[in-house]
Chains A and B, each alone.
Chain A
Amino acid sequence: EVQLQQSGAELGKPGTSVKLSCKVSGYNIRNTYMHWVNQRPGKGLEWIGRIDPANGNTIYAEKFKSKATLTADTSSNTAYMQLSQLKSDDTAIYFCAIRGIGPFDYWGQGVMVTVSS
């Protein structure tokens, strides 16, 4: 069974960074893209970007190019997302997801990031 386990809730001060993790079990992340999606309180889903863990290649949505940095460690089968220069607007739930071909679709449980001084 494929499972994505995300790290715990984060509280970050404005101007600092946080690094979120997403550990995958039951599937080798080398064989897929890892996506990250956010959801601000009461708002819709927003695609942030994706990484190909096999070679480290990344694609970001335009608005997240200077905000998010995606990395992956194939030895631990874990994907990471660092959010930099935190602002209150970054307060959101962040999901990692595997969206493969056709029906292959798995999501983490989501992690709440709160930005507050």
Chain B
Amino acid sequence: DIQMTQSPPVLSASVGDRVTLSCKASQNINKNLDWYQQKHGEAPKLLIYYTNNLQTGIPSRFSGSGSGTDYTLTISSLQPEDVATYYCYQYNSGLTFGSGTKLEIK
């Protein structure tokens, strides 16, 4: 099974900061990766699909990049409403969620 490791587990940043969340796969996943945002008590919401495609309705401050085993979700200017846990999700071989990064405001 493909393992997905996200770092850091917890990230604390200030409003307006540029924030980078990382996701590393145990093997090449050929860009078959999505990013989800989950706010407390809610279902996950798709932010980015196939590594770098912004889901409809998601603010343009969110972007994704990566290839091979290493992927990144970037928030260009952190907003208070971005407080959530973020998960990467690979579907190249089987389906696996990453362990999550909890994003907090300083």
Which A residues are closer than 8 A to B by beta carbons? 35, 37, 44-47, 50, 59, 61-62, 95, 97, 99, 102-103, 105, 107-110
Which B residues are closer than 8 A to A by beta carbons? 1, 34, 36, 38, 43-46, 49-50, 53, 55-56, 85, 87, 89, 91, 94-100
Contacts of B49 in A (CB 8 A): 102-103, 105
Quick check: B94 and A61 within 8 Å, CB to CB? yes
Contacts of B50 in A (CB 8 A): 102
Q: How far is the CA of A108 from the CA of B50 in the complex (A)?
A: 22
Q: How far is the CA of A109 from the CA of B43 in the complex (A)?
A: 6
CB distance from A70 to the nearest CB of B (A): 13
Contacts of B44 in A (CB 8 A): 37, 45, 95, 107
Q: How far is the CA of A35 from the CA of B53 in the complex (A)?
A: 22
Q: When A and B form their complex, what is the total count of cross-chain residue pairs whose Cβ atoms lie within 8 Å? A: 49
Residue of A45, A103, A105, A107 near B97 (CB, 8 A) is A45
- Chain A residue nearest to B54 (CB atoms) is A103
Quick check: A47 and B43 within 8 Å, CB to CB? no
Which of A61, A99, A103, A105 counts the most B-chain CB atoms under 10 A from its CB?
A: A103
A47-B100 CB under 8 A given contacts A107-B43, A108-B43: no
Quick check: B38 and A47 within 8 Å, CB to CB? no
Contacts of B99 in A (CB 8 A): 44
Quick check: A47 and B97 within 8 Å, CB to CB? yes
CB distance from A46 to the nearest CB of B (A): 7
